[in-house]
Amino acid sequence: MRKNSITESRSFNPSRMHVQLVHESEHVKVMNFNLKAGQEMPVHSHNLEGELVMVVLNGNGELLGEHGPLDAIKTGDVLICEIKEPHGVRASTDMSLVVTIAPPI
């Protein structure tokens, strides 16, 4: 078992979303996304089978879909979707997310 502290290593970039790879294997990929208020993870999708799990570590914002905002999100929310489903995030406040993709892309 390995341990990684996201809170000690996370950082924010004032000009764009910052992504940090936490773990990658043939089975799963885990990343830490850090967005300043107003920044977005643009809506996108991948033509693959698998699931995506986003955990909001802190902050508030909106879950985005193909046709715009889908729902408000906040600290503690867990969001799950198929990798091929269009998804994105817009931060209303500084926001940190842990994103897990299985299988990894």
DSSP per position, 40-98: EEEEE--SSS-EEEEEEEE-EEEEEETTEEEEEEETT-EEEEETTS-EEEEESS-EEEE
pTM above 0.95, yes or no: no
Chain segment 83-92, per-residue pLDDT in tens: 999 999 999 9
The CATH fold of domain 16-102: Jelly Rolls (2.60.120)
Taking the C-alpha atoms of residue 2 and residue 7, their distance in angstroms, rounded to an integer, is 16
Instruction: Give the three-class secondary structure for 11.
Output: coil
Work out the mean pLDDT of the chain and round it to a whole number. 94
Kind of pairing between the strands at 60-65 and 68-74: antiparallel
What are the residue boundaries of the structural domains of the chain, listed by start? 16-102
Q: What are the phi and psi torsion angles at 11 (to 5°)?
A: -150, 160
